[in-house]
């Protein structure tokens, strides 16, 4: 009899290791079998060790408030696992912290997509998720998963939302007609000197300089012209901002009247009644964000969290609150009218209308361009 139950526990452990059952089911069945027979296996101490909390780091502001209210708190209530939260304004901040921390200190990151995914992979911080534990991935847009899969066949994260970095403008000062006519040129219009803003980041500054000079941001031919335009925008700008909260503050207080801006933050301002218009000029920078699990994390709990966040009811509630379309495929999941009206929403699920940065091209040039941008941002 003891031999039979020993084999049963071994098979149960194998099923869990292969991803055939969830950690929660495994713990329940293993505990019941062990209690009934008094058996103990060498692996049981580690496997049955309870995970009481998971750490989640994100962008703060309205975005994290939405995730906290509609995803993290309900997850904790359902599982009794506490979610300890941290925030950052620039994702490079948390990458720097991860470099000097121990595996497991940071666990789940609301990351800004493929450009940063490369950084985690190159640094050796990525994990390998068991997709069988995240069945809701079946509803995630294939065009969003594909770029991640190209870098790591075994994923470390799952796409969660997307948006664009377009042009936001104060409609009391700039008309929709003027914005449409000038497009990216609004960021170089001397008429608005001292009232211009922009993302304090190399990629966005180069991207919009490329659009202003009619170059392909993913295949730039004349960098001298690009840097000249970056300097021109710098000299006209009141402030280059580094967080969504700062962007919203500058626009709402009318300290700036035009800036490149994240679509979801603009939608949030519009919902609050501020006179802000939004334009996606041709070729504007699109982005996708993912929920990333770092190496050393309690994988089963983190996978369970991601699966919970991808539940249609949860993902839709978060999307409506943070004003970014979810990664759910609209041909598989019925989305709300509010989501369908969000900036950047693609009803086809193909995302062909959006322009994303080529991760290899930008990773190849990123270090040199960042050094030059840092010099220019300091006045060079």
What is the per-residue pLDDT across 352-376, written as a single tens digit (0 to 9) for each? Answer: 999 999 988 998 999 999 999 999 9
3-class DSSP state for residue 341?
coil
Q: Is the pLDDT of residue 187 over 80?
A: yes
pTM of the prediction? 0.83
pLDDT of residue 301: 95
Residue 377: CB atoms within 10 A of its CB come to 16
Beta strands in the chain, from DSSP E residues, in sequence order: 53-58, 82-87, 108-111, 157-170, 196-199, 237-241, 258-262, 276-279, 285-293, 355-356
Inter-CA distances, 67 with 20, 120, 305, Å: 29, 22, 12
- The confidence band for 43, taking pLDDT boundaries of 50, 70 and 90, is very low
pLDDT in tens, 201-218: 999 999 999 999 999 999
Task: Name residue, tokens 């409609």.
Answer: 171
pLDDT at 29 over 80: no
Rounded mean pLDDT, 250-254: 98
At 13, give phi and psi (nearest 5°): -65, -40
* pLDDT at residue 34, as a whole number: 57
Q: Looking at residue 46, what is its pLDDT?
A: 46
262: pLDDT strictly greater than 80 = yes
- The pLDDT assigned to 1 comes to 40
CA 197 to CA 260: how far, in whole Å?
7
| DSSP letter, residue 325 | -
pLDDT of residue 90: 87
Please determine, for residue 14, whether its predicted confidence score (pLDDT) is greater than 80. Answer: no
Q: What is the mean pLDDT of the chain?
A: 91
Looking at residue 359, its pLDDT comes to: 86
Q: What is the pLDDT of residue 217?
A: 97
pLDDT band at 128 (very low <50, low <70, confident <90, very high): very high
Question: What pLDDT sits at residue 47?
Answer: 46
Q: Is it the case that residue 38 has pLDDT exceeding 90?
A: no
Query: What's the pLDDT tens digit per position in 283-306?
Result: 999 999 999 999 999 999 999 999
Integer Cα distance of 232 and 190 in angstroms: 10
- Of 57, 85, 265, 221, the C-alpha closest to 213 is 221
pLDDT digits (tens, 9 = 90+) for 45-62: 444 456 899 999 999 989
The DSSP element (H or E) to which 35 belongs, if any, is helix 23-37
pLDDT at 5 over 70: no
> What integer pLDDT is reported at residue 89 of this predicted model?
85
Q: Which of 149, 12, 101 is nearest to 297 (CA)?
A: 101
Token pair 């300097």 is at which residue? 231
Question: What token pair was written down for 139?
Answer: 């509803």
With 90 as the cut, is the pLDDT of residue 20 above it? no
pLDDT, residue 3, reads 44
CB atoms within 10 A of CB 127: 22
Range 64-89 average pLDDT? 96
Query: Residue 32 — very low, low, confident or very high, per pLDDT cuts 50/70/90?
Result: low
Q: How far is CA 263 from the centre of its chain?
A: 13
The pLDDT of 337-356, averaged and rounded, is 94
Can you tell me the distance from the alpha carbon of 119 to that of 114, in angstroms, rounded to the nearest whole number?
9
Tell me what pLDDT residue 297 has. 96
Q: What is the 3-state secondary structure (H, E, C) of 230-258?
A: HHHHHHHEEEEECCHHHHHHHHHCCCCCE
| Res. 13: pLDDT tops 90 | no
Which pLDDT value is given to residue 2?
43
* Residue percentage of the chain with pLDDT more than 70: 87
Q: What is residue 298's predicted lDDT score, i.e. its pLDDT?
A: 96
Return the sign of the alpha-carbon dihedral for residues 251, 264, 148, 357.
Answer: negative
Averaged pLDDT for residues 138-161: 96
Is 50 exceeded by the pLDDT of residue 141?
yes
The pLDDT assigned to 12 comes to 63
Rounded Cα distance, 106 and 93, in Å: 13
The CA distance from 275 to 105, in Å, is 42
């Amino acid at each position: 009899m003891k031999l039979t139950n020993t084999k049963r526990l071994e098979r149960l452990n194998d099923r869990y290791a292969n991803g055939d059952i969830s950690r929660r089911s495994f713990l329940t069945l293993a505990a019941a079998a062990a209690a009934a027979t008094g058996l103990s296996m060498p692996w049981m101490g580690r496997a049955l060790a309870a995970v009481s909390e998971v750490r989640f780091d994100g962008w703060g502001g309205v975005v994290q408030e939405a995730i906290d209210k509609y995803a993290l708190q309900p997850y904790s209530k359902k599982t009794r696992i506490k979610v300890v939260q941290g925030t950052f304004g620039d994702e490079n901040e948390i990458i720097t912290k991860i470099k000097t921390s121990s595996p497991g200190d940071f666990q789940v990151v609301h990351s800004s997509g493929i450009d940063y995914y490369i950084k985690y992979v190159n640094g050796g911080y990525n994990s390998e998720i068991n997709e069988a534990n995240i069945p809701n991935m079946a509803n995630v847009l294939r065009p969003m998963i594909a770029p991640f899969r190209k870098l790591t066949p075994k994923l470390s994260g799952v796409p969660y939302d997307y948006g664009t970095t377009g042009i936001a403008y104060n409609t009391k000062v700039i008309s929709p007609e003027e914005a449409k006519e000038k497009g990216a040129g609004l960021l170089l219009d001397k008429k608005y000197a001292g009232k211009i803003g922009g993302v304090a980041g190399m990629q966005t500054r180069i991207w919009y300089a490329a659009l202003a000079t009619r170059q392909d941001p993913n295949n730039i031919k004349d960098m001298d012209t690009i840097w000249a335009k970056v300097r021109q925008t710098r000299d006209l700008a009141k402030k280059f901002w580094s967080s969504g909260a700062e962007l919203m503050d500058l626009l709402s207080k009318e300290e700036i009247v035009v800036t490149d801006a994240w679509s979801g933050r603009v939608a949030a301002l519009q919902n609050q009644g501020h006179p802000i218009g939004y334009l996606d000029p041709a070729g504007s920078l699109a982005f996708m964000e993912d929920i990333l699990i770092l190496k050393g994390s309690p994988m089963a709990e983190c996978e369970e969290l991601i699966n919970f966040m991808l539940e249609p009811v949860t993902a839709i509630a978060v999307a409506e609150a943070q004003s970014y379309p979810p990664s759910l495929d609209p041909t598989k999941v019925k989305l709300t009218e509010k989501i369908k009206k969000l900036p950047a929403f693609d009803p086809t699920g193909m995302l062909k209308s959006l322009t994303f940065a080529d991760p290899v091209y930008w990773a190849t040039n990123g270090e040199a361009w960042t050094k030059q941008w840092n010099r220019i941002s300091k006045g060079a």
